[in-house]
Amino acid sequence: MTDHGDARIPLISTRDQLPEDARHHYDHIMETRGYVGGPFGPLLNSPDLGGQVARLGTYIRYESVLPGADRELAIITTGREFDCAYEWAAHEPIAREEGVSDETIDAVATRAPLDDFPADDAQIVRYVRQLLRDHEIDDETFEVAYERFGRQGITDLTATIGFYSLIACTLNAFEIMPAADAPSLP
């Protein structure tokens, strides 16, 4: 995915834009993702921060105990709650690849009520929406999620929401936009 538009700060896109002692952060991002773009272009303006965020993201995206479809549903719901065009464009196709249904993706995109969601999808969307809208999770929603995911899983789910909130804030604040032909929010 390419960054388009005028970002508010310079985007780090090549290794030589970083000081020699910070280039290992760039290398790690290239090694784990295959490119340096999206949130990492602006985050590497603070190289140690960009590196730490990338390391946490490696766990959240590639090593978490959450099944891929559940992780991606949490990510696109977080992206939608932040109206983050880039996060949506990057993760909507991954959500489809991981098995999130077209109906669920469309319902998240339009902020549809949870009544018509499949039960498992509704649990995740409800958890994300409560945390981001109400800044807390009610007891019933928490217990249902805890029963489904267990201690580590619910911790990973909550951290996924927090991580992608950071990413959405970074992308939105610095006006990092997806390619014009990328999936877009309604």
CA nearest to 89, candidates 163, 15, 167: 167
How many domains is the chain partitioned into structurally?
Answer: 2
Residues 43 and 74 in one domain: no
**Within-domain flag for 110:** yes
User: In this structure, how many other beta carbons lie within 10 angstroms of the beta carbon of residue 138?
Assistant: 11
Residues 95 and 23 in one domain: no
Q: Would you say 26 and 44 are in contact if contact means Cβ atoms under 8 Å apart? A: yes
Residues 77 and 141 in one domain: yes
Q: Would you say 29 and 54 are in contact if contact means Cβ atoms under 8 Å apart? A: yes
Residues above pLDDT 90, as percent of the chain:
90
> Can you give the residue range of the structural domain that contains 104?
68-173
Residues 51 and 28 in one domain: yes
**Within-domain flag for 94:** yes
pTM of the model as a whole: 0.94
pLDDT at 3 over 70: no
pLDDT of 5 reads 54
Can you give the CATH number for the domain in which 164 is found? 1.20.1290.10
**29: Cβ–Cβ under 8 A, 6 or more apart, which residues?**
36, 40, 44, 50, 51, 54
The SS3 call for residue 13 is coil
Residue type, 114: L
